[in-house]
Structure 1
């Protein structure tokens, strides 16, 4: 049997192998990334180091750089999915260090941002809202500019304008969408936002009395960095949900100067009328006025108009 050393020598010295080796070496050394690396380390690298590290250099050039060969993060071709190779010189040897690629960074940023938004009963499609997809026509421009003004003044969780917006108008004009777009922008700043679909939330609060989670849920909502109450006025408001749930949340946020946003089909005056009458038909002007006083203190009213975009 031929010794392994002799076998290797015979294979390496074969014309076909030598030709393939030279072609590979030429391909490696002509790669822009390799050329830059060798230029940056010209004082420390000689031919012997290049020859010894040729395998690493070849591994480097056959991977994706700046995601140029990857259609998506899931289809990453690199040795470590989501990480791109970088040539390094370690103790006189050429090696590869891997760092998160652009697509992975974008993916991780989106995950971090989404963790900043807690939704309670909001539709998933609304939560994907972006400002770029919001069409600020003449009847919606005021609301668009007001939202932009809030975001321009907000620089992070410790620096937020005290007053939010009260967006009102008929069905389907984009009130909930605009709120969600704002929540996504705030998430990019590291601001935690809680979005609440009020009718469903009030129904759950009634059930929470039985399972003894009422106080926990109310506390979670009222202490949010930014609170967005969607579709207030659409619920069948009882005296208890108005005074003990909504009133408690709004009083806390007013006292702590925490920004609060609301959407409604009602204007301020129409909402006050809605809050005045309990499910039993009782008229409670003073209690409704007390809740509306807090809403006015917390928000700036802005009307949205236009066609129903849900049709």
Structure 2
């Protein structure tokens, strides 16, 4: 009767199965020899499930059992709730800068794939979009894993999900231990300007984080009107540092890189009053564009508009 209880326990059952391919398989004889410790384990064992509250006496911690050299051993371990919380904390803590609330968007590539991209009942995306998004994430993750330093300049119409996909990618890098920053240029420039008048986070700290972070995401580049300082000092300093130090950088935009160059010209045309001024402006614009091209491969996406969905 006792043997049946042992073998019905999911954790002991797992150990028995794993032992079958080892030099010390768990036999009935071994189970009976370890009755005391197995009984202690059954008495303390509580299985946690993420769909319900933590069942452990000491929240987040559970009694586990291992098997080695014909002997069972009890040990303390984290339950699935604590393991999940540790994963969440890792994602949040690896962001050096984010202009969205990370704790409210924790989706990583693996879950995105199974919940949406590989889910035939998920109809908000066409099959071709699912395939393209899946390949985009897969290629980006593999490139960084292989120590390739070029990111992606992803452009297309507003509201088609570019930011959503790159937030998933940013979370995934963070979950894998990379230090990450995710920001729109407009918001980070506003924060830097405010820092000049406050005693809080300093402009130099923000700038250094964006320069040195493992993976930087600049969202919606070209969606802002840049002052000479914003473009030629702040943005150029960050992009130039990342190019010279081979730091992985991703961009989203509503403009192709050629259109972005024209956008910079339109933004700045009032500052150039003669031919010489225009020539200087063009040099400054070219410096920015060349850094973007060095940092990222351009990719256009023609997804359907789905603002606030995915």
TM-score grouping bracket, smaller chain normalisation: 0.7 to 0.9
Question: CA offsets, 1:61-107, max 9 Å, x none?
Answer: 25545x3xx34387222333333324589xxxx98532223443233
State TM-score, norm by structure 1. Answer: 0.73
Pick the aligned partner of 2:297 from 297, 300, 304: 300
Residue 178 of structure 1: which of 165, 183, 200 is its match? 165
Asked which structure has the greater CA Rg, the reply is 1
Give the 3 Å change call, closer, same or farther, for CA 137–293 of structure 1 in structure 2.
farther
For normalisation by structure 2, the TM-score amounts to 0.73
Displacement of 1:161: 1.5
Which residue is 1:18 aligned to? none
What secondary structure is seen at the aligned counterpart in 2 of 1:210? coil
Which residue does the alignment assign to 1:13? none
Q: After TM superposition, give the deviation of residue 207 of structure 1 in Å.
A: 2.2
| Residue 128 of structure 1, aligned match among 107, 130, 146 | 107
Q: Does 1:254 align with 2:239?
A: no
Question: Is the 8 Å Cα contact of residues 160 and 259 (structure 1) preserved in structure 2?
Answer: no
1:145 aligns with 2:123: no
Q: Give the gaps of 5 or more residues in structure 2.
A: 17-25, 118-124, 273-280
Contact kept? 2:180, 2:213, Cα under 8 Å:
yes
Structure-1 residue corresponding to 2:30: 40
Q: Higher mean Cα deviation, 271-280 or 283-292?
A: 271-280
What does residue 30 of structure 1 align with?
A: 5
On the 8 A contact 2:64/2:75 being kept in 1, the answer is: yes
Residue from 275, 282, 286 that aligns with 1:285 = 282
Aligned residues: 267
1:190: Cα distance to partner? 1.6
Q: 1:140 to 1:249 in 2, by over 3 A?
A: farther
CA–CA distance in 2 between the matches of 1:143 and 1:72?
Answer: 28
Q: Which moved more, 1:201-210 or 1:168-177?
A: 201-210
After alignment, is 31-40 or 171-180 more displaced?
A: 31-40
Structure 1: 5+ residue runs without aligned partners? 1-25
Deviations 1:228-268 (Å, cap 9, x if unpaired)? 00111112211110011100000000000111000011111
Q: Is 1:83–2:61 an aligned residue pair?
A: yes
Contact 1:140/1:306 (<8 A) preserved? no
Q: Check the 8 A contact 1:168/1:263 in 2, yes or no.
A: yes
Gap change, CA 1:241 and 1:148, over 3 Å in 2: same
- Residues 10-44 of structure 1: CA distance to partner in whole angstroms, max 9, x if unpaired? xxxxxxxxxxxxxxxx669734258978843655x
